[in-house]
């Protein structure tokens, strides 16, 4: 289908409704309950940028910036950017060991409820069967429909399938290659390297029409229940196109009879029209409207690199608990190798998270925030890029969630003296003010000893830890 035909079909679908392509109509969107219940998903950054395994997933851009380490690395490893450019790495992106069923099984064991692979990153190489470019994984490199295969495998595991598009930034992503003699200037490769325009120049109508056609095709071919967008879509030129896409997607979902969501950053959407996402960051308090954090197991890169620096599982679980207590969900990223294997360290971390959730998941899945998110000394800053450099949670840091009448208090570190006092639950507390029937430590069969007075709810923890990270107290009030 030619791009003009695609845009005509998009407009026809929008005209059918129920959503119109304007913000007022789109503010009638409702977040699906499955999403608010799921809480935890897996993000996947994978592409030809995994081949060098150097720097991060911005290698395709940085290798054309002449003062960057990636430029020097590429020159020394592969030769000049004119003779051996990014396009030449695609053949080495083999995916010959990619097993979508094994991936999906791992994600289920990790306790994830939804999966969001990157369908197209800024580099312009699509991991799906794209009708608008030959530069895609079905025709080059793996010669497989990565997104289609993964969608099928994920759904077989009863997980929700989503996908992400970072296409917007492709407008300028390769512009470094316009500053010297490189293959970015080769007209035969314009389908991959694209406009390569200055970041300060707004995208033109042709690029925006192409963006809309590609993104709607992803909806049609794979019926994702999440479409995640990266940051550059907040540019004013995208606004009418975002409205068209959202109306198209929500109208298609109404026909599928499935709840769907769009993830956005900054102020790209009105908050009523989609689900807000914070990159590598959180909120300091409960946000009334459901939201999401996207972050990675690694600190230094979203894609695979040879010298990956990882967070601890304890830190990831602490963030998950904190996010859920504030009405959010966690989308946690992995970066597979170019052959399709998931690094052993990442697989081990996912399995450890899954073991924690198998014990404590009832304090996460299907819960809602309480009157307050928690208590304790560790402060969380509002905003992005705050999750890799703050202090560790302590045994005084406690987070709350509720399920019906049950209150869950998650203690984010094991107390050295074996005792926890939850001050917010004091008998004269303004936020609690209930009598307690029972207190149980999830994963522990023996009863815990506790007292409830004006100091708070004090629990004598057992001598044996039920798990290795955060610890959940299940509190049943008297009826």
Q: Which two tokens stand for residue 232?
A: 């550059």
Contact indicator for 385, 281 with CB cutoff of 8 Å: yes
How many structural domains compose the chain?
2
243 assigned to some structural domain: yes
Please tell me whether the overall predicted TM-score, pTM, comes out greater than 0.95 for this model.
Answer: yes
The CA distances from residue 269 to 181, 243, 291, 464, in Å, are 39, 9, 13, 48
Categorise residue 472: left if φ over 0, alpha if ψ from -120 to 50, beta otherwise: beta
pLDDT reported for residue 85: 98
CATH number, position 219? 3.20.20.80
Contact indicator for 335, 50 with CB cutoff of 8 Å: yes
Contact indicator for 126, 120 with CB cutoff of 8 Å: yes
DSSP-assigned letter for residue 317: H
Cα dihedral sign for 44, 237, 5, 139? Answer: negative
Question: In terms of residues, how long is the chain?
Answer: 479
298 assigned to some structural domain: no
312 assigned to some structural domain: no
DSSP-assigned letter for residue 248: H
Write the CB contacts of 311 (distance below 8 Å, at least 6 apart in sequence).
297, 298, 299, 388
Q: Do residues 67 and 200 both lie within one domain?
A: yes
Q: Do residues 266 and 399 both lie within one domain?
A: no
Q: Do residues 179 and 55 both lie within one domain?
A: yes
Q: Do residues 378 and 273 both lie within one domain?
A: no
Is residue 165 classed as helix, strand or coil in its secondary structure? Answer: strand
Contact indicator for 369, 327 with CB cutoff of 8 Å: yes
Q: Do residues 271 and 403 both lie within one domain?
A: no
254 assigned to some structural domain: yes
Write the CB contacts of 104 (distance below 8 Å, at least 6 apart in sequence).
115, 150, 153, 154, 156, 157, 159
155 assigned to some structural domain: yes
The whole-angstrom separation of Cα 56 and Cα 63 is 11
Among 257, 279, 301, the domain-final residue is 279
The whole-angstrom separation of Cα 114 and Cα 128 is 19
CATH number, position 424? 2.60.40.1180
Q: Which two tokens stand for residue 242?
A: 């975002």
288 assigned to some structural domain: no
21 assigned to some structural domain: yes
The CA distances from residue 182 to 74, 174, 195, 311, in Å, are 12, 10, 14, 37
The whole-angstrom separation of Cα 16 and Cα 13 is 5
Q: Do residues 91 and 205 both lie within one domain?
A: yes
pLDDT reported for residue 3: 65
The whole-angstrom separation of Cα 243 and Cα 269 is 9
Give the H/E segment covering residue 74.
helix 69-78
Q: What are phi and psi of 390, to 5 degrees?
A: -95, 170
Among 279, 311, 342, the domain-final residue is 279
How many CB atoms are closer than 10 A to CB 454? 9
pLDDT reported for residue 1: 47
Supply the range of the domain harboring residue 422. 374-477
369 assigned to some structural domain: no
Nearest to 77 by CA among 110, 41, 51: 51
Contact indicator for 448, 462 with CB cutoff of 8 Å: yes
Nearest to 13 by CA among 309, 354, 252: 252
Categorise residue 226: left if φ over 0, alpha if ψ from -120 to 50, beta otherwise: beta
Give the H/E segment covering residue 409.
strand 406-411
Q: pLDDT (tens digit, 0 to 9) for every residue of the chain, 479 residues total?
A: 456 788 888 999 899 999 999 999 999 999 999 999 999 999 999 999 999 999 999 999 999 999 999 999 999 999 999 999 999 999 999 999 999 999 999 999 999 999 999 999 999 999 999 999 999 999 999 999 999 999 999 999 999 999 999 999 999 999 999 999 999 999 999 999 999 999 999 999 999 999 999 999 999 999 999 999 999 999 999 999 999 999 999 999 999 999 999 999 999 999 999 999 999 999 999 999 999 999 999 999 999 999 999 999 999 999 999 999 999 999 999 999 999 999 999 999 999 999 999 999 999 999 999 999 999 999 999 988 888 777 899 999 999 999 999 999 999 999 988 899 999 999 999 999 899 999 999 999 889 999 999 999 999 987 789 999 999 999 999 98
Q: Do residues 119 and 259 both lie within one domain?
A: yes
Among 246, 279, 312, the domain-final residue is 279
């Amino acid at each position: 289908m030619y791009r003009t035909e695609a845009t005509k079909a998009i407009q026809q679908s929008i005209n059918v409704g129920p959503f119109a392509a304007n913000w007022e109509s789109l503010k009638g969107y409702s977040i699906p309950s499955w999403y608010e219940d799921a809480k935890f998903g897996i993000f996947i950054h994978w592409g030809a940028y995994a081949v060098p395994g150097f720097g991060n997933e911005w290698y395709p851009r940085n290798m054309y910036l002449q003062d960057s380490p990636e430029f020097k690395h590429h020159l020394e490893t592969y030769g000049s950017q004119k003779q051996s450019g990014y396009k030449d790495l695609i053949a080495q992106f083999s995916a010959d060991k990619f097993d979508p069923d094994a991936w999906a099984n791992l994600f289920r064991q990790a306790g994830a409820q939804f999966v969001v692979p990157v369908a197209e990153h800024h580099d312009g190489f699509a991991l799906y069967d794209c009708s608008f470019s030959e530069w895609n994984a079905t025709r080059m490199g793996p010669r497989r429909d990565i997104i289609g295969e993964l969608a099928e495998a994920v759904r077989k595991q009863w997980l929700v399938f989503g996908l992400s598009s970072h296409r917007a930034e492709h407008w300028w992503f390769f512009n470094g290659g316009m500053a010297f003699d490189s293959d970015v200037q080769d007209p035969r490769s314009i389908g991959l390297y694209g406009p390569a325009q200055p970041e300060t120049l707004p995208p033109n109508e042709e690029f925006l029409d192409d963006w809309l056609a590609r993104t709607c095709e992803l909806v049609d071919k794979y019926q994702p229940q999440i479409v995640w967008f990266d940051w550059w879509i907040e540019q004013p030129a995208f606004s009418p196109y975002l409205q068209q896409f959202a109306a198209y997607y929500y109208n298609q979902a109404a026909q599928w009879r499935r709840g769907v969501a769009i993830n956005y950053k900054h102020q790209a959407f009105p908050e009523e029209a989609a689900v807000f996402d914070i990159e590598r960051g959180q909120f300091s308090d409960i946000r009334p409207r459901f939201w999401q954090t996207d972050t990675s197991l690694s600190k230094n890169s979203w894609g695979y690199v040879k010298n990956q620096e990882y967070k601890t599982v304890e830190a990831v679980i602490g963030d998950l608990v904190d996010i859920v207590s504030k009405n959010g969900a966690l989308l946690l990223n992995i970066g597979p190798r170019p052959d399709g294997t998931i690094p052993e360290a990442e697989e081990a971390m996912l399995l450890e998270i899954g073991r924690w959730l198998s014990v404590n998941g009832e304090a996460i899945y299907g819960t809602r925030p309480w009157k307050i998110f928690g208590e304790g000394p560790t402060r969380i800053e509002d905003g992005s890029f705050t999750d890799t450099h703050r202090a560790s949670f302590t045994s005084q840091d406690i987070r709350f969630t509720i399920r019906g009448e049950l209150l869950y208090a998650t203690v984010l570190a094991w107390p050295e003296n074996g005792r926890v006092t939850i001050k917010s639950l004091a008998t004269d507390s303004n936020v609690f003010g209930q009598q307690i029937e029972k207190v149980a430590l999830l994963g522990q069969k023996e009863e815990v000893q506790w007292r409830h007075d004006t100091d708070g709810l004090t629990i004598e923890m057992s001598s044996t830890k039920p798990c290795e990270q955060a610890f959940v107290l299940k509190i049943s009030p008297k009826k």
